[in-house]
Amino acid sequence: MASFPRVSSFTGFREKFSENRNDAALLNYIGTCADKEEDMSSYKEGQINQLANALEAADYTPEDVTSLGQGDLISIRSFVRGQARIVPIEPPEPLPILKLISGGQGLVIGACDGKRIIAKAKEVFRSGIDSDFERWRANEPGQPTPKTVPDVHEMVKDATFSQMFGFLGADIDDVGSMRKYCFTQHQIIDFVEKYPDWLRADGYATFFLFQSHDEFFVAGVCVSSDGLFVRVSRFEDGHVWRAGRRRRVVVPQLA
């Protein structure tokens, strides 16, 4: 860390500081003093050096000093004289990515044998089924599942899939953790059949995480005037989904 210069006068301080630092940040802080060199003789050379020492010891940057000079020096003086105190500002709570909107609504997906897959459910998704379900092998039947309570969340902050599910508690680097947030495709079909009013309307997606052939995917179900359309994305897709569309995310409720 560079040292502040030691000089014999305010004028010399200006010149020396500019030579050594090529930055007049410190002068902004003591500018009111330096500009009054002739009529404020109470400021001594030792006091200027003491100030420079204090700023240096406290690890002040030139930008910090500029901010001091542009701030309320009367308030700082009040603190120095014991007439005011510094109160640390609590950092704001981070904005959540998702908010639960189905709490207490009694939603339940019945027991499923796992045999139904989205790629074949044309009677459900009448508006269309993304061909990538077949092309990416996102078409594996699941295991039987018991009655399951789903939680429906709505986006309140822009996020990728990994950020959404990480916010909910999934360890995206742990397969076992990720599976806890997955539905089988059979469960996804049952949910959209049973609870169409809980899907995001106006053509925007409701997301469901699922696993097929050891890979994680996200099904996005959209409601259109022609019925339901479903597309598939790879979980690791880095696309940032905008919260303003209020897309939804449905996951199994964890105990």
Domain segments of the chain as ranges: 10-80, 98-252
Residue 36 has pLDDT above 60, yes or no: no
Q: How high is the pLDDT of residue 49?
A: 82
Chain CA centroid to CA 253, Å: 23
pLDDT of residue 6: 47
Confidence band of 66 (pLDDT split at 50, 70, 90) = confident
Q: Can you give the pTM of this predicted structure?
A: 0.67
Tens digit of each residue's pLDDT (9 = 90 or more) over 165-186? 999 999 999 999 999 999 999 9
| Mean pLDDT confidence for 107-119 | 98
What are the angstrom distances between the C-alpha of 184 and each of 16, 19, 147, 188?
Answer: 72, 70, 12, 6
Name 219's bridge partners.
208, 232
**Residue type for 221, please?**
V
Residues forming beta bridges with residue 229, ordered by sequence position: 128, 222
Most confidently predicted of 51-55, 69-73, 87-91, 130-134 = 130-134
Task: Pick 220 or 59 by higher pLDDT.
Answer: 220
